[in-house]
Chain A
Amino acid sequence: MAENKPIVIVGGGISGLTAAVEAAEAGCDVVIIEKSPYLGGRVAQLNKYFWKLCPPTCGLEMQFKRIKNSTNIKFYTLAEVTDIKGQEGNFDITVKVNPRYINDKCVSCDACAQACPAYRKNEFNFGMDETKAAYLPFNQAFPALYVIDKNACHPDCDECKRACKYDAVELDMKPEIINIKAGAVIMAMGWNPYDANKMDNLGFGKIKNAITNMMMERLSAPNGPTGGKIIRPSDDKEVKSIAFVQCAGSRDENHLSFCSYVCCLASIKQAMYVREQYPDSKAEIFYIDLRTPGLYEHRFLTKAQSDPNIAFTKGKVAGICEDPESGDVILEVEDIFKGTKVKTRFDMVVLATGMEPATKNDRSVKDVAYTPDGFVDTSAKKGIYAIGTLRNPVDVIRSTQEATGAVIKGIQSLRRQ
């Protein structure tokens, strides 16, 4: 194929990466615009995928290898689209590339981080730990380049620059504006966890041992804040009894009106993390409907149900409170069948918060129709294709599937010209 204008892919998560490597391997030129300092997006934060319980970094490694081997993929990290003009076959895209303060000479030797005196909250781990202001986003990050968080730096400090033997630190790096001509645009900005602070009754932010499902992924991951040990935030106690509150914000008109689809499978998976780590532990999942549609998905549920120490209770969690002495959490649950309320105590509770499409707040791509929930409508502008969780809450298989399919639409756009 010899189309000369690239396909621009906004977002370098699993959907965007997949679209990029697939398009490149079909001979298209591709540019990825990624907001964060690394590629991989949300899945990079996951410990394991349901239902295979395999590590996402395995597939990411493969995608990164495909990028390395493709000469026709260009990617920008710390970059955001500020404007898209034009139409199918002839888009004019303005991108702001924010400074990394580290250039490509970085060899990831860690000297800058070791020299750095300042700390920052580690948002990759949802603030559960800290990194230095000069840091590697995570240990298998791609590109393998450090970053400096200027907001966390001490004023006028240049310890990192002095420590770097490779001339890789550039503290005066400035934002750059670049213009890209594109034939088609694929929107793959992904999703954000719904803000758990918005649900007063669930006590997130006030109750120390109430965490979100995405925090649970980090807490279980070998490269997470505890090295993969599932211990509770208040006192590092091993988590031997754990509750999962399904639909925390989802299927609720005051929060997210839709079902976030992945949360049932994610909670089952996370209950398995705990059960595997502590054979004497118990998990209980409070749900409205158990949504594990499909073959492997349903089998995954059946597997969890065969474990006598994973309980499934159909019931709505009315409220969560904390026992200030022990740090335990106490859930008040309405039993749907009996119509009664029951109180149960756990070491920790995981709120299965849902997915909010990134386009709920990020409207950098204009001329595209959005639903009230912030999803990109099916009838997006010609030449612009939205994929993955921008269209509907989906899992990784469906994201990669849709990303692959979007490429042929992109190619059609290029060939119509």
Chain B
Amino acid sequence: MEKKYGVYICKGCSIGESVNIDKLSQIATKGMGIPLCKSHDVLCSPEGINLIKEDIQKEGVNAIAIAACSPRVKFEEFDFPGTITERANIREFVAWTQEPNTEETQSLAEDYLTMHITKLKKGDMPEPNILENLSSTILVVGGGVAGMNAALDAANAGYSVLLVEKEPQLGGFANKVYKKIPTGEYFTEPLIVDTGIENVIKSVESHPNIKVYKSSIIEKTEGQPGLFDVTISSNGSSETVRTGAVVLATGWKPYDASKLDYLGYGKKNVVTNIEFEDIAKKNNGRILRPSDGKEAKRVAFIQCAGQRDPNHLPYCSSMCCATSLKQAKYVRQDKDAVAMIFYKDIRTPGRLELYYKEAQNDPGVMLTKADVKGVSDAGNGNLYVEMENTLLGEKVKIEADMVVLAAGMVPTTRAPQEYLDGLTAAAAKGDDAKKKYIEETPKPDFILNLNYKQGPEIPSLEGAYGFADSNFICFPYETRRTGVYSAGGVKRPMDTTEAQSDAAGAVFKAIQCIDHVAKGIAVHPRTWDVTFPDPLMIRCTSCKRCTEECPFGAIDEDEKGTPFYKVNRCRRCGTCMGACPERIVSFKDYSVDIIGSMIKTIESPDEETFRILCFACENDAYPALDTAALHRKKIDPSVRFVSLRCLGGMNLVWVADALSKGIDGILLLGCKFGENYQCHFVKGSELANYRFGKVGETLNRLQLEAERVQMLQVSITDYEKLPDMINEFVEKVKELGPNPFKGM
């Protein structure tokens, strides 16, 4: 676009008392050649805003640089649709953190203004990239409680849904269940109610917006949000359909009970909680034991069977306590029968506590904490449960007609993920090891079969035992595959009530994603962002770093190994831009050239004056710096902050250029990485740190000390200590002396 520039400087909030505004204005007018430069006492006031708006209307200003407060505040005031607006933060980064009216303070303000005008000049008005033939159909994989509810929610909101179920009928585990725990008030009888699953199945199968594929699996998922071409294979025939987004609701499998022989599994009257449901359902509520069909009068429930146990499932499946309490009620339908529950902790969180209380009030339900040591035969098909540390005594042996093992949940994604993890590990050892692995390892059923360079399923989270969960507490639907949202037992151990509400959330995210790709805007966390990566492919060397490093698998490769973008998978973090050694990845307002040009404007007035460049993550480090400023913490005036969408976008060329131009030190401020990482783009700060590790080559070439570059992991709450951490780094650099390339 044809740009008409305007620069506006605020004198309020002590900026006017810290900086010589006339001199600062000359940076724009003389230095940068922008004649239209105005200052105002309070730029965010209605009068100040009017000043800008009049210029927009009368002068046709459409490229605006505002030197005032942080872009995190006064965002409504300084919002001028149809323009490119850049904000130089000279309140927080200058007026509030520097000594007023020193040469260095003035120079800092001038540098920020120059940098942001440079960005304004280099950047361009972004236009959305809207792909054609987009589909708004939603694919739901898995026809259990979560999947069916997801399908119904989308269908009732007016969307077309394809529901794919592996089994010949819908319903999943709910089909196997005799009764469920009532929702709502637990203390009103009855305490066990019909699941109502038949009605849900009927609603799904009769809904005009839902097409159900039974006995079907996903053979291949190709493409990207809005354009997923999914090949569904049913009874030997295949069909390819286009969908916009995917809900993964394939649920869980019971833990392999054959491994629970130490708790008696394999003996005749020892069953799992799932098998117990089957017995109750088959016999219409009567508990007939497998060995002789005799009515069980004393049923023992062993909680955490193979759970909370590093040798089996090291986690808690969270629904088994309530399930056993419910199953105790099955037993108690026979008034002469007794249910005994042996637990580590009874985990009935929230209002489920009232359900537990009901059981405690039932004299026919015996509950005790116990460490179960084993199950042995007591003759006539009866069993002894041996345990220690109980409320009944230290060592106790109790006879039961039947034993129920409360076994846990294993997500359906676990087997494929373990296979893929094994493949990655083998591949790391070389081609032979990989080949051997593929030949010798039985391949489990994959679920999504994504045709992505980075692999066919949602990437596993470390230590998640295959659960397709999000790593984020605040954003539970953020998987690493844009447009694919997981719900229910495949995501996290949960009961059916939670699975229903989870399904609603996941399918809503799918709808939202479809809506966003239709507008050509990013999905979370950079929603509304219309920019997109636009690489200059002619210069691509097919080094594939972008393909490997993209946290969202947005970049695939063609037959020749040349990367290409599936733009609707992109989350706009700029990790590819940071990864690319050829510097070819650009967004309209964010590129190696834009940031590089900003950095190049930083001037050292003389050899003795230090200049430190600091890249800060805009999500956490930047707000921490703002908060430090709010507390009027002093930061060394040599430091120039440049905010990045994510540190993953940090390109080493900036570091090399800055150092060879005489910048004395470079600091990176990124989020915590490793276990429990906090980066909103998965591993941006980790990648920046990794790249930074390779900066040695540059330093060697320039014969500079390694201490001139450093990365700090900071969190948004580090505002108290952050200025000290920065100042400490500056001191260290000052001890090393000025960069000898200064002024060259």
Contact = CB atoms under 8 A, between A and B. Distances in A.
Interface of A: 1, 14, 18, 22, 25-27, 49, 52-59, 61-63, 65-66, 68-70, 105, 107-109, 139-140, 144, 165-167, 221-223, 227-228, 250-251, 257-261, 289-295, 297-299, 302, 314, 336-337, 371, 373, 375, 377-379, 392-394, 396-398, 400-409, 411-412, 415
30 contacts: A26-B511, A26-B512, A55-B715, A57-B717, A59-B473, A63-B474, A65-B619, A68-B76, A105-B42, A107-B44, A139-B719, A222-B718, A222-B720, A227-B720, A257-B353, A259-B350, A294-B316, A294-B493, A295-B465, A295-B467, A295-B469, A373-B351, A392-B350, A393-B349, A401-B476, A401-B501, A402-B505, A404-B505, A405-B503, A408-B505
B678 A68 contact: no
B474 A295 contact: no
Contact of B528 (A70, A260, A396): A70
B12 A166 contact: yes
Nearest to B68: A107
A257 B69 contact: no
A171 B94 CA distance: 32
Interface of B: 12-14, 42, 44-45, 69, 72-76, 153-154, 156-158, 183-185, 308, 314-316, 318, 321, 345-354, 357, 369, 389, 391, 463-465, 467, 469, 472-477, 492-494, 498, 501-505, 507-509, 511-512, 515-516, 524-525, 527-528, 619-620, 623, 627, 630-631, 672, 676, 678, 680, 715-720
Contacts of B504: 404-406, 408-409
Given A49-B473, A108-B630, A408 B508 contact: yes
B185 A371 contact: yes
A336 to B, nearest CB: 7
B315 A58 contact: no
Given A25-B516, A61-B620, A222-B719, A105 B45 contact: yes
A26 to B, nearest CB: 5
A336 B157 CA distance: 53
Contacts of B183: 378
A353 B300 CA distance: 34
B114 to A, nearest CB: 25
Nearest to B41: A165
A415 B158 contact: yes
Contacts, number: 229
A248 B45 CA distance: 50
B620 A298 contact: no
Nearest to A373: B351
Given A25-B516, A289-B346, A405-B501, A412 B12 contact: no
A259 B348 contact: yes
Nearest to A58: B716
Chain A CB count within 10 A is highest, among B308, B391, B473, B717, for B473
Contacts of A1: 515
A139 B717 CA distance: 10
Top 7 A-B pairs, shortest CB-CB distance: A59-B474, A405-B504, A293-B318, A404-B505, A405-B505, A261-B349, A289-B345
A105 B89 CA distance: 18
Given A49-B473, A55-B717, A404-B505, A412 B157 contact: yes
Nearest to B390: A337
Given A58-B620, A408-B504, A251 B353 contact: yes
Contact of A375 (B153, B351, B505, B720): B351
A46 to B, nearest CB: 11
B507 A408 contact: yes
Contact of A139 (B14, B76, B369, B631): B631
Contacts of A298: 308, 314-316
B353 A139 contact: no
B505 A401 contact: yes
Contacts of B467: 295
A291 B73 contact: no
Chain B CB count within 10 A is highest, among A259, A411, A415, for A259
B509 A404 contact: yes
B623 A61 contact: yes
A284 B463 CA distance: 28
Contacts of A261: 349-350
B615 to A, nearest CB: 18
A72 to B, nearest CB: 11
B366 to A, nearest CB: 16
Given A259-B350, A371-B184, A408-B504, 7 more contacts: A26-B512, A107-B44, A139-B719, A222-B719, A297-B316, A405-B503, A405-B504
A367 B72 CA distance: 40
B502 A401 contact: yes
A291 B348 CA distance: 8
A58 B619 CA distance: 7
A412 B528 contact: no
B511 A408 contact: yes
Contact of B525 (A49, A62, A251, A378): A62
Given A22-B512, A393-B349, A408-B511, A54 B465 contact: no
Contacts of A22: 508-509, 512
A384 to B, nearest CB: 16
